[in-house]
Amino acid sequence: MLEKIKKTADFLKERMHTQPGTAIILGTGLGSLANEITEKYEIKYEEIPNFPVSTVEGHSGKLIFGKLGNKDIMAMQGRFHYYEGYSMQEVTFPVRVMKELGIKTLFVSNASGGTNPAFEIGDLMIITDHINYFPEHPLRGKNLYGDRFPDMSEAYSKELIQKALQIAKEKGIKVQQGVYVGTQGPTFETPAEYKLFRIFGADAVGMSTVPEVIVANHCKIKVFGISVITDLGVEGKIVEVSHEEVQIAADAAQPKMTTIMRELINRA
Ligand code: HPA
């Protein structure tokens, strides 16, 4: 595994002419941030040795390098979801490669269903913490590096959360804060499951992010995450939900999400 990671990182290093310290996983709601990257150069996932290839509609797969404002960054356009059939090793492989490339801070976005009754569709939720409800742990097995029992007391950087809140205030963007529970999907939740997650202490539920954030913490990469609430898993407000509707709600929230991320990356 370590050898695979190194080989992939070496392949990328040969092609990289910048040294980014910042990585972004362009999840749902953040696609248009890619348009703001300047001095861009791209490498398709299928060209990268050992890289999984993404399959889901609306997620094309490539690494984008360049500048966002004054910051050298690398961005993943297209991520790997457990529900697609990838192993946890595959889902988190890019984060391990990021570490090898010298990434210090990771920014992630996603879409989720709100379980907090105060939330509305289209709200942004800064992720303050998570609950790992995936059936398999990405760090199960031989410990490759770092701690065998990694600390998770500040999985999402408090400093970055404070900065993001400040930015939202300055820009007049309403943001919520809360706990994200990550599930394997691909089903959306039954009403009973939404209720369970609420009782668990979650404010939103989605099908990604948690594995990557665990691995980032394991290799001491700082994390900031933001979620767009695309539907509500709140008793009395639950209606039929589809991928298309999730996409539409996420697209509508995209400008707000992009503003916060762009500013935060520049100030981080
Ligand atoms: N549940 C799980 N994942 C999601 C949801 C949801 O309600 N909405 C968007 N992603």
Round the average pLDDT of the chain to a whole number and report it: 94
pLDDT one-digit tens code per residue, 237-263? 988 888 888 889 888 899 999 999 999
User: Is residue 57 scored above 60 in pLDDT?
Assistant: no
Average the pLDDT over 126-141 and give the result.
Answer: 97
Tell me which residue has tokens 């999730």: 246
Cα 13 to middle of ligand 1, angstroms: 36
Predicted confidence band at 145 (pLDDT cuts at 50, 70, 90)?
Answer: confident
- Centroid of ligand 1 to alpha carbon of 90 (angstroms): 22
Tokens 């990604």, residue? 208
- Percent with pLDDT over 70 in the chain: 97
Distance from the CA of 141 to the center of ligand 1, in angstroms? 29
Closest CA to 197 of 176, 178, 185, 181: 181
Is residue 111 in contact with ligand 1, taking CB distance under 6 Å? yes
Domain total of the chain: 1
* pLDDT value of residue 31: 84
Q: What distance in angstroms lies between residue 21's CA and the mean position of ligand 1's atoms? A: 30
Cα 175 to Cα 160: distance, rounded to the nearest angstrom? 14
Any atom of ligand 1 within 6 Å of the Cβ of 207 = yes
Which residue would you say has higher pLDDT here, 30 or 103? 103
User: Does residue 69 have a pLDDT over 90?
Assistant: no
- CA of residue 22 to ligand 1 center, whole Å: 27
211 lines ligand 1 (CB under 6 A): no
Find out whether the beta carbon of 109 lies less than 6 Å from any atom of ligand 1. no
Residue 16 — very low, low, confident or very high, per pLDDT cuts 50/70/90?
A: very high
> pTM surpassing 0.85?
yes
Spatial neighbors of 190 by CB under 8 A, at least 6 apart, are none
By the 10 Å C-beta count (0-12 exposed, 13-18 middle, 19+ buried), 2 is classed as exposed
DSSP string, 188-235: PPPHHHHHHHHHHT-SEEESSSHHHHHHHHHTT-EEEEEEEEEEE-ST
Taking only the tens place, the pLDDT of each residue in 161-181 is 999 999 999 999 999 999 999
Q: Give yes or no for residue 138 CB within 6 A of ligand 1.
A: no
Categorise residue 69: left if φ over 0, alpha if ψ from -120 to 50, beta otherwise. Answer: left
pLDDT given at position 56: 55
**pLDDT score at 233:** 95
Model confidence at 125: pLDDT above 90:
yes
Q: How confident is the model at residue 29 (pLDDT cuts 50, 70, 90)?
A: confident
Full residue range of the structural domain in which residue 141 is found: 1-267
Residue 183 alpha carbon, nearest atom of ligand 1: 2
DSSP-based three-state secondary structure for 168:
helix
pLDDT at site 30: 86
Q: Are 4 and 46 in contact (CB under 8 A)?
A: no
Per-residue confidence (pLDDT) for residue 58, from 0 to 100: 47
Q: Is 246 in the pocket of ligand 1 (CB under 6 A)?
A: yes
Give pLDDT, residue 51: 92
pLDDT at 229: 96
Average of per-residue pLDDT across 208-224 = 98
CATH number at residue 180: 3.40.50.1580
For residue 171, report the distance from its CA to the centre of ligand 1, in Å. Answer: 27
